[in-house]
Amino acid sequence: MDLLATSLLNGLTYGFLLFMLAAGLTLVFSLMGVMNFAHASLYMLGAYVGAALTGPLGFGWAALLAPVLVGLGGCALERWLLRPLHARGHVAELLFTFGLAFLIEESVKLVWGAGSVEYRFPPALEGSLFNAFGTPYPVYKGFMVGVAVLSLAGLYALVAHTRVGLVVRAALTQPLMVQNLGHDTDRVFMWVFGLGSALAALAGVIGGAALTTEPSMAAQLGTIVFVVVVIGGLGSIQGAFLAAMGIGVLQTLLIAVDLRLQQLLPPLGHPLVAALGELKISQLAPMTPYALMVAMLLARPRGLFGQREA
Amino acid sequence: MATWRSAGIVAVLLALAAASGSLGVQLATQVLVLWCFGLSYQLLFGRTGMLSFGHAVSFGLAAFGTAHAVRALGGVPVYELLPLAGAAVGLACGVVLGYPVTRRSGIAFAMVTLGLGELVAACFLMFPGFFGGEAGVTLQRTRVPSLLGLDYGRGVTQLLLTAAWTAAVLLGVRWLSRTPFGLATLAVRENAQRIEYLGFRTATVRWVSMLVASALAGVAGALSALAYEIVTVDAVSLHMSANVLLMTVIGGLGSLWGPLVGAIFLTVMQSVVSDWTRAWLFYYGFVFVVLVWLAPEGITGLWQAARRQRPALRRVAIALVFALLLVVFIETAYQLALGEPTRLPGWQHLGPGALKGLLWASGLAVALLLARGLRRSNDTQAIA
């Protein structure tokens, strides 16, 4: 029981981290049609910049400044590099952002080295927040969930309840009309891209401290975030939320299960199947998101809440 | 005519490589294997427009399959036909994995292939019997006797076999591109909706294209397993998938020679430049990004454009100066950050003060040139 509860809590925490990335990715995609392969690299940059700033400024300022810096970098990236590519279509943008992800990983290795850097939460966040069925739930995980919920609520309020959000929502469906009404949609796009980048960097600031800050962190989380977005349906924020939580919980739960497949299945005679039965359930955990994705493609190619066959 | 001339040049280069000793043979074999792999990717991405981030799955699984086939077939004289085993494994990959994947196209397809590649790569620790764990699977190619009675213990004979199979793949891709199916793949790339209206099932065209591409990638995987006599998990990894994508785009997707140019580029970077600097991956990625941004037709496209209209000397000079400054900046930054001296000549004489000065000066110059180039291109786009 306690194992189940802790796994569930950890899974939800991980799910929130995934959703912070998926939300920015989805927002940018539905607005501009750009699937940013370098999104997870911005997450990694957030972690590294946060780590670099924590030394001189302390964790609080670093957590505030790193997203701002990376967000401004995202604005510049959109304005100077992505916008000229837009006319050439989605494949060019995909290729470009893929190359950018490659380049960012190599740059990070050049600047900070190929190993991981020392980056932890400050001691103030080390203690335990409450006891869930006898297992302590650390404060920093509560902090992660808090930051995620706050930033996402802020994003929602911005998009749903402000004039800026009104323009953004209008530009989603009718960009030309919005432009004709005198709004600079290009600038709106740039700021939305910057906002998405800042959100990814914020996720990096907390994710990097909770997990490890290393050059492969972008590739590790990035593919899972793409799986989340595909399962949820491209461009659907509700779908991304459900998929992020589902994958977060499922992956954490499976790691905790200490069973072999043969203990669940009826005994099978064939040696090949018997070899499969030797596998531990926890060994299956890394591949569950991808297996889910394949299953979703077979059953429902457009994802949970996808609007169209893209 | 141009095709025959290019083929002649390739043959002469091969003969030179074979004559120049074991390093030349090794490099030439690597180029050919990568060319073969690149040709399959060109069919998938260049012609059918399916941007795959998981193409190494068929390549790698075929390489592992071939390694196991060599172990199982010891003594049976079928050596020259072993790439067919790779093709069969690749085809099986295409049948099983291609079916769900080709139900999507465009951006979703790209994302799904990335996930599928990770799925297969995640399997390698689960099935140590097949993937050989961290160490990989080794094989001895001389265990399988030759059908023609040749001695494949020597690198040159292996190079000849690789060249023969690559030529077969090249001719196959060339022939396929002229069949009605080859034209249908182009049409699916250009306007899938319209092709659907004309009565084609675009998902089927995509799937068949992927089947062929996977089988050809399987041939390349088998050739690589036989040439190197070891297969590690790197063969199915995202690294390999990224390599084939970067290489093919750098070389150019427009012609069958593009992947060859890309393969030569990658081999030179991997085997020559990497001896000089550990930043070679950065340069590799940088060339890719710049080409995607400025010259989507790749090196072969640039070459053709330069032949049509001679580029202004000024622009070439600026590009060269920029490249030089960038290399200076990256090497200096690298030396300062990691404290490990680069093997390029000149740097070891510089003290820390001089290094810092060089870093700032070259960084500033690179930034200024970049800003200038970006502003120019934005201006020309505003006019257009």
- What CATH code is carried by the domain that includes residue A166? 1.10.3470
CA dist., res. B377 & res. B371, Å (int):
10
Write down the pLDDT at residue A132.
66
8 Å CB contact of A230 and B112: yes
SS3 content of chain A, % helix, strand, coil (to 5): 75, 5, 20
When pLDDT is averaged across residues A234-247 and rounded to a whole number, the result is: 89
When pLDDT is averaged across residues B168-177 and rounded to a whole number, the result is: 93
Write down the pLDDT at residue A68.
95
**The dihedral sign for the CA sequence A21, A27, A30, A32:** negative
> Distance from B252 to chain A by nearest Cα, in Å?
13
Where is pLDDT greater, at A193 or A274? Answer: A193
Q: A280 falls in which pLDDT band (50, 70, 90)?
A: confident
Write down the pLDDT at residue B372.
84
Say which DSSP state A128 is in. E
Strand, helix or coil for residue A58: coil
CA dist., res. A126 & res. A64, Å (int):
20
Minimum-distance CB partner of A102 among B49, B123, B285? B285
Q: How far apart are the first and last CA of chain A?
A: 42
H-type helices in chain B, by residue range? 2-19, 22-41, 56-72, 82-101, 106-122, 128-131, 155-176, 180-190, 192-197, 202-228, 238-251, 258-268, 274-276, 280-294, 298-308, 313-338, 352-383
8 Å CB contact of A99 and B285: yes
When pLDDT is averaged across residues B128-155 and rounded to a whole number, the result is: 84
Tell whether the model's pLDDT for residue A269 goes beyond 60. no
Q: A310 falls in which pLDDT band (50, 70, 90)?
A: very low
Residue B223 CB neighbours (<10 A): 30
Write down the pLDDT at residue B330.
84
Residue in chain A closest to B378 (alpha carbons) equals A84
8 Å CB contact of A98 and B238: no
When pLDDT is averaged across residues B191-196 and rounded to a whole number, the result is: 89
Query: Residue A202 belongs to what domain range?
Result: 2-299
When pLDDT is averaged across residues A101-124 and rounded to a whole number, the result is: 85
Residue A182 phi/psi, 5° resolution? 100, 10
- pLDDT 10s digits, B293-310: 888 889 999 888 888 888
Q: A256 falls in which pLDDT band (50, 70, 90)?
A: confident
Quick check: is A182 in a domain?
yes
Quick check: is A309 in a domain?
no
Write down the pLDDT at residue B166.
94
Find chain A residues with C-beta within 8 A of B47's C-beta.
Answer: none
Is the ipTM of this structure higher than 0.95?
Answer: no
Apex A301 CA angle, A299 and A303, nearest 5: 95
pLDDT more than 70, % of chain A: 91
Residues facing A117 on adjacent strands: A213
Q: What is the CATH number of domain B8-256?
A: 1.10.3470
Tell whether the model's pLDDT for residue B29 goes beyond 90. yes
Quick check: is A244 in a domain?
yes
Which runs of E-coded beta strand occur in A198-237? none
Write down the pLDDT at residue A1.
64
Minimum-distance CB partner of B107 among A35, A110, A294? A35
When pLDDT is averaged across residues A249-265 and rounded to a whole number, the result is: 76
CA dist., res. B176 & res. B193, Å (int):
23
> Where is average pLDDT lowest: A214-228, A265-279, B245-259?
A265-279
8 Å CB contact of A102 and B338: no
Write down the pLDDT at residue B216.
96
C-alpha pair distances (Å), B220 with each of A174, B66, B86, B215, B239: 48, 11, 8, 9, 16
Residue among A229, A213, A291, A165 nearest A36 (CA): A229
Computed over every residue of chain A, the mean pLDDT equals 85
Q: B242 falls in which pLDDT band (50, 70, 90)?
A: very high
Residue B145 CB neighbours (<10 A): 17
pTM here? 0.90
Q: A266 falls in which pLDDT band (50, 70, 90)?
A: low
Q: Scan residues 31-50 of B and list those with Cβ closer than 8 Å to A.
A: 49
> Distance from B355 to chain A by nearest Cα, in Å?
15
Find chain B residues with C-beta within 8 A of A21's C-beta.
Answer: none
Q: Is B53 exposed, middle or buried (0-12, 13-18, 19+ CB in 10 A)?
A: buried
Write down the pLDDT at residue B168.
94
Q: How many CB pairs under 8 A join A and B?
A: 121
Minimum-distance CB partner of A287 among B106, B119, B333? B119
The residue whose two tokens read 């810092």 is B356
8 Å CB contact of A309 and B104: yes
- pLDDT 10s digits, A24-70: 899 888 888 888 999 999 999 999 999 999 888 888 898 899 999 99
Where is pLDDT greater, at B259 or B354? Answer: B259
When pLDDT is averaged across residues A80-92 and rounded to a whole number, the result is: 86
Write down the pLDDT at residue B226.
93
Q: Which amino acid is at B227?
A: A
The domain total for chain A is 1
Q: Scan residues 200-229 of A and list those with Cβ closer than 8 Å to B.
A: 219, 223, 226-227, 229
Q: Which amino acid is at A68?
A: V
Tell whether the model's pLDDT for residue B281 goes beyond 80. yes
Residues facing B231 on adjacent strands: B137
Find chain A residues with C-beta within 8 A of B246's C-beta.
Answer: 99, 102
pLDDT more than 70, % of chain B: 96
CA dist., res. B189 & res. B46, Å (int):
9
Find chain B residues with C-beta within 8 A of A89's C-beta.
Answer: none
Write down the pLDDT at residue B380.
65
Q: Scan residues 281-300 of A and list those with Cβ closer than 8 Å to B.
A: 283-284, 286-287, 289-291, 293-294, 297-298
Q: B87 falls in which pLDDT band (50, 70, 90)?
A: very high
Minimum-distance CB partner of A230 among B53, B111, B126? B111
Residue in chain B closest to A85 (alpha carbons) equals B293
CA dist., res. A238 & res. A22, Å (int):
11
Token output for B215: 């089988």
Tell whether the model's pLDDT for residue B384 goes beyond 50. no
Q: A272 falls in which pLDDT band (50, 70, 90)?
A: low
**The dihedral sign for the CA sequence A253, A254, A257, A261:** positive
Hey, is the C-beta of A111 within 8 angstroms of any chain B C-beta? yes
Tell whether the model's pLDDT for residue B12 goes beyond 70. yes
When pLDDT is averaged across residues B186-205 and rounded to a whole number, the result is: 89
Residues facing A131 on adjacent strands: A136
Say which DSSP state B311 is in. P
Where is pLDDT greater, at A100 or B313? Answer: A100
When pLDDT is averaged across residues A101-118 and rounded to a whole number, the result is: 87
Find the Cα–Cα–Cα–Cα dihedral A244, A247, A252, A255, rounded to 10°.
-160
Residues facing A136 on adjacent strands: A131
Where is pLDDT greater, at B342 or B369? Answer: B369
C-alpha pair distances (Å), A73 with each of A81, A105, A195, A198, B366: 11, 16, 10, 9, 18
Hey, is the C-beta of B242 within 8 angstroms of any chain A C-beta? yes
Maximum CA pair distance of chain B? 70
Computed over every residue of chain B, the mean pLDDT equals 87
Hey, is the C-beta of A149 within 8 angstroms of any chain B C-beta? no
Domain boundaries, chain B: 8-256, 311-383
Token output for A268: 């099978």
CA dist., res. A208 & res. A205, Å (int):
6
Write down the pLDDT at residue A267.
59
Hey, is the C-beta of B246 within 8 angstroms of any chain A C-beta? yes
8 Å CB contact of B118 and A96: no
Q: Do residues B67 and B137 touch, judged by C-beta distance below 8 A?
A: yes
8 Å CB contact of A223 and B338: no
Hey, is the C-beta of B101 within 8 angstroms of any chain A C-beta? yes
Which runs of E-coded beta strand occur in A91-189? 128-132, 135-138
Find chain B residues with C-beta within 8 A of A110's C-beta.
Answer: 279, 282, 330, 333-334, 337-338
